[in-house]
Structure formats: C-alpha cells, structure tokens
C-alpha cells in the first residue's frame, strides 16, 4: 500500500497527517454541500453575477455563505496543495528540485488564497450593473431569468 497511508511518527508530517483527515471530514460537508446547492438545489444555468450577489451580499444570510466559502477555500487549498506536495515528494528527489517544487507550491497556493479571500470579503454589489442585466434578460420563464 501507499507509503503515505502509513501514519508518520511525529513532527510536521504527523500534523499534516491529522490535518488531511480533519479537513477531509469537514470538506465532506462543505464541498459536497456546495455541489448540492449549485447543481441540485439550483440549475447551474441560473448562476450569474446577480446570483452570487444574492448570496454574498444578502443582508440576513450573506455572512453564512461568506463564512462557508472562506472555510471551504482555506481547507480545500491546504488539503489539496498538501496532498499534491505529498505526491510530488515521492517523485522529486534532487535537493534543489525539491526546494523549487515546495516554493512554487506555496507561492501558488498563497496567491490563490489571497485572491479568493479578497473576493469573499471585499465583494460589493454593483447595483447599476444588476439592474441593466435584469432589464436585458427579463424574458418570462426563461432558464436565465433573474429573480
């Protein structure tokens, strides 16, 4: 069986091992719930700027979705990039190549995390745009109708 399936003895790798399991369990709720909301509870063809605004900028429930997305992006990024690092650690052996690989992974992950966090918390509705979009797409019963 895979070597990384064996529980590490201690140090960073043991922390990472526990993190992979705890974040995995939380992502079952967050990521599978996200997919359920987007694909089963909604039709994906209804997703647009106004839809996102209705979630993130909702005066009552907006903070729930922002918190949901924030937890999901943080856990999924660390979980996914740590998983990728474990895979690459098995294949990249040279000392220099390993440093370059780890640096690249951390830089890419941090950049994405900053972009995602910025989007979640800095989002403000562009009301003029939403009005214009609704006016252009107000066909009754259309799959793209905006509520």
Partner 1 sequence: MSTILPEPHAYRPGKLARLKEGLRYQGGIGQWSWLLHRVTGVGILIFLIIHVLDTFFVVFNPALYDHTVAIYGGVFGGQYFWPLRWAFRLAELGLMATVLYHAINGVRVILFDFWSEGCKYQKESFVAVLIVFLALMVPAAVVVILPLASSPDHMVKVPANTPNP
Residues near ligand HEM, by CB under 6 A: 4-5, 17, 20-21, 24-25, 27-28, 31-32, 34-35, 38, 44, 47, 52, 55, 65, 69, 72-73, 76, 79-80, 83-84, 86-87, 116, 119-120
* Best CA proximity match to 36, nearest among 66, 14, 68, 8: 68
Q: Which residue is nearest to ligand HEM (CB)?
A: 83
11-35 per-residue burial string, b: 16 or more CB within 10 A, e: under 16: eeeeebbeebeebeeebeebeeebe
CB of 99 to partner 1, least distance (A): 21
Whole-Å CA distances, 10 to 6, 16, 90, 129, 134: 12, 10, 19, 54, 57
* 4-11 long-range Cβ contacts below 8 angstroms, 24+ apart: 4/86, 4/90
Round to whole Å and give the CA distance between 132 and 100. 48
Contact (CB, 8 A) for 57 and 129: no
CB of 101 to ligand HEM, least distance (A): 14
Interaction with partner 1 in 63-92: which residues (CB under 8 A)?
Answer: 73, 76-77, 80-81, 83-84, 87
Which of ligand HEM, partner 1, none lies near 66, with the C-beta cut-off 5 to 8 A by kind? none
Q: Which residues are near partner 1 by CB under 8 A?
A: 1-3, 5-7, 21, 24-25, 27-28, 31-32, 35, 39-40, 43-45, 47-49, 52-53, 73, 76-77, 80-81, 83-84, 87, 108, 112, 115-116, 118-119, 122-123, 126-130, 132-133, 136-137, 139, 141-145
């Amino acid at each position: 069986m895979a070597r990384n399936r064996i529980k590490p003895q201690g140090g960073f790798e043991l922390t990472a091992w526990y993190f992979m399991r705890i974040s995995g369990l939380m992502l079952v709720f967050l990521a599978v719930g996200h997919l359920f909301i987007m694909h089963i509870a909604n039709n994906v063809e209804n997703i647009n700027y106004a839809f996102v605004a209705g979630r993130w900028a909702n005066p009552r429930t907006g903070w729930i979705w922002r918190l949901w997305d924030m937890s999901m992006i943080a856990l999924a990024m660390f979980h996914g990039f740590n998983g990728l690092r474990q895979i690459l650690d098995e294949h990249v052996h040279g000392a220099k190549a390993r440093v370059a690989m780890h640096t690249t992974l951390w830089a890419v992950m941090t950049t994405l995390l900053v972009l995602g966090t910025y989007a979640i918390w800095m989002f403000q509705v562009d009301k003029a745009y939403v009005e214009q979009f609704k006016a252009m797409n107000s066909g009754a019963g259309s799959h793209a109708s905006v509520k």
